[in-house]
């Protein structure tokens, strides 16, 4: 019985340690590089605004004007993203998003954003969708592709 209690204690300590590492994770973006959905929606709705390149790096729906490269967790899709970006000016505003799941567990945004960093883009943003595309974009009536 004591060994069973010790086993569960060790498991709990490991879970707490891993959770601590996860919470302390250094993201590849800064707080300044997060773009609020309302801000992007206002850009899209302003006929005079210069439109950013918007890239969907996951399986969620397409925001108006977005290009889909596929789930960035897959190497072939990351290669597609790299090819798309190789044709762009390093100073162009680029917005990436996934929206498949909560931000903290999304498997697509980190590889995609890290690629933008590695390719030395200077004006790239991550659309701040902490829950998912439906809750943080669609439910607000922001523009989607038909």
Domain count, the chain: 1
Residue 103 placed within a domain: yes
Q: What is the mean pLDDT of the chain?
A: 88
Residue 23 placed within a domain: no
Average pLDDT over residues 112-141: 97
Query: pLDDT (tens digit, 9 = 90+) per residue, 31-66?
Result: 999 999 999 999 999 999 999 999 999 999 999 999
In DSSP terms, 105 is beta-bridged to none
CA nearest neighbour of 116 among 87, 94, 146:
94
Distance CA 125, CA 70 (A): 18
Residue 145 placed within a domain: no
What pLDDT, on the 0 to 100 scale, is given for residue 60?
Answer: 92
- Judged against a pLDDT cut of 50, whether residue 20 lies above it is answered with no
Q: What is the CATH number of the domain that holds 129?
A: 3.40.250.10
CA nearest neighbour of 133 among 101, 95, 96, 94:
101
In DSSP terms, 127 is beta-bridged to 35
Residue 5 placed within a domain: no
């Amino acid at each position: 019985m004591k060994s069973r209690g010790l086993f569960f204690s060790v498991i709990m300590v490991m879970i707490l340690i891993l959770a601590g590492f996860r919470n302390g994770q250094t993201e590849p973006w800064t707080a300044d590089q997060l773009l609020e959905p309302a801000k992007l929606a206002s850009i899209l709705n302003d006929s005079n605004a210069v439109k950013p390149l918007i890239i969907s790096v996951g399986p969620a729906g397409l925001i108006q004007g977005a290009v889909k490269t596929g789930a960035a967790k897959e190497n072939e899709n990351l290669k597609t993203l790299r090819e798309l970006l190789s044709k762009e000016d390093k100073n162009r505003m680029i917005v990436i998003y996934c929206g498949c799941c909560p931000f903290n567990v999304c498997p697509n945004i980190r590889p995609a954003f890290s690629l933008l960093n590695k390719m030395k883009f200077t004006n790239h943003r991550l659309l701040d969708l902490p829950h998912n595309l439906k809750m943080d974009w669609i439910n607000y009536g922001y523009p989607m592709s038909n």
